[in-house]
Amino acid sequence: MFKKILAPILMAALLPAVASAAPTATVATAGMMSGMMMHGMPKGQMGADGIPYLGAPNLELASSLVAAGGSPEKFSIVTALRNLAGKKIANAELLKLTRQFGPGKIESFVKVQNFAVDEAVRDATSAGVKFPAPRLTGTVLAVALTKAGLEGGTYYEGVMLDHVVSHKIHEAVMDAIDAQYGAKADANYHRIADQAHYDLAHALGAKMVELAQYH
């Protein structure tokens, strides 16, 4: 019953973003993406992490995500998922991902995701960014995060990070992950995050969201 009630709400919230999120890469952007390693993703694979968003970040969304996962310096993606979708859906998704990717890759994903959020907050705070009080919670926050990661109807973790913390901080955090855990762990994080957000959107009724090829 919960999903039947929620599905139309999610559809209405996400459809405008899907319709308007057509790729807008410039020649310069395409050249930049085709010539870099994409943090462990296949070199030259255009769109593996989405087309970079270079605008201002949504700091309210950032602070709400951090709050959903606990607190700065102690972020937990598992806690965040449970607060976004409810324990039943979140636990089922974690079990599904573990069966799909294996326990080792899921453990790495959780560790790197937690590190990424904490590192992003540290970098932003060091740069003088002032985060507003968190306001979004639950499925409202889940919808907002999904919309932030949509490009042409497909969810990309990199696009979401650009919108939430800025492309500059996103790139700095990915470099920190590469240094701390290695490029393969960074790529694994993106792959599983793409799958998890796609699954979450579909579990909550937003069937129009598409899965990135790099998953």
Q: What does the pLDDT read at residue 215?
A: 56
The encoded tokens of residue 148 equal 């932030």
Split at pLDDT 50, 70, 90, the class of 21 is very low
Residue 48: inside a domain, yes or no?
no
Q: Of 9-18, 101-110, 127-136, which range is least confident?
A: 9-18
What confidence score (pLDDT) does residue 96 get?
97
Within-domain flag for 154:
yes
Mean pLDDT over residues 166-194, rounded?
94
Its domain, for residue 85, covers: 2-40+56-211
Q: Are 63 and 133 in contact (CB under 8 A)?
A: yes
In percent, how much of the chain has pLDDT > 90? 69
Beta strands at 210-211 and 154-155: parallel, antiparallel or unpaired: parallel
Residue 169: exposure state from Cβ atoms within 10 A (0-12, 13-18, ≥19)? buried
- How far apart (Å, rounded) are the C-alpha atoms in residues 71 and 61? 14
Report in angstroms the alpha-carbon separations of 127 from 118, 122, 123, 169, 177.
Answer: 14, 9, 6, 10, 19
Q: Is residue 49 part of a domain?
A: no
* Residue 43 confidence (pLDDT) above 50: no
pLDDT at position 84 over 80 = yes
Of 46, 80, 29, nearest to 193 by C-alpha is 80
Closest CA to 85 of 103, 68, 64: 68
Report whether pLDDT(24) > 90. Answer: no
23 SS3 class: coil
Whole-angstrom CA distances from 5 to 41, 120, 199 are 38, 35, 18
| Residue 15 covered by a domain | yes
Q: Is residue 46 part of a domain?
A: no
- What pLDDT sits at residue 12? 44
Give a yes or no: residue 136 inside a domain: yes
Q: Is the pLDDT of residue 5 over 70?
A: no
For residue 16, give every residue at least 6 positions away whose Cβ sits within 8 Å of its Cβ, in sequence order, or none. Answer: none
Please give the pLDDT value at position 195.
95
Q: Quick check: is 28 in a domain?
A: yes
Q: How many domains does the chain fold into? A: 1
pTM reported for the whole predicted model: 0.80
Separation of alpha carbons 211 and 215, rounded Å: 8
3-state secondary structure of 72: coil
Tell me if 50 is assigned to some domain.
Answer: no
Where does the pLDDT of residue 50 fall: very low under 50, low under 70, confident under 90, or very high at 90 and above? confident
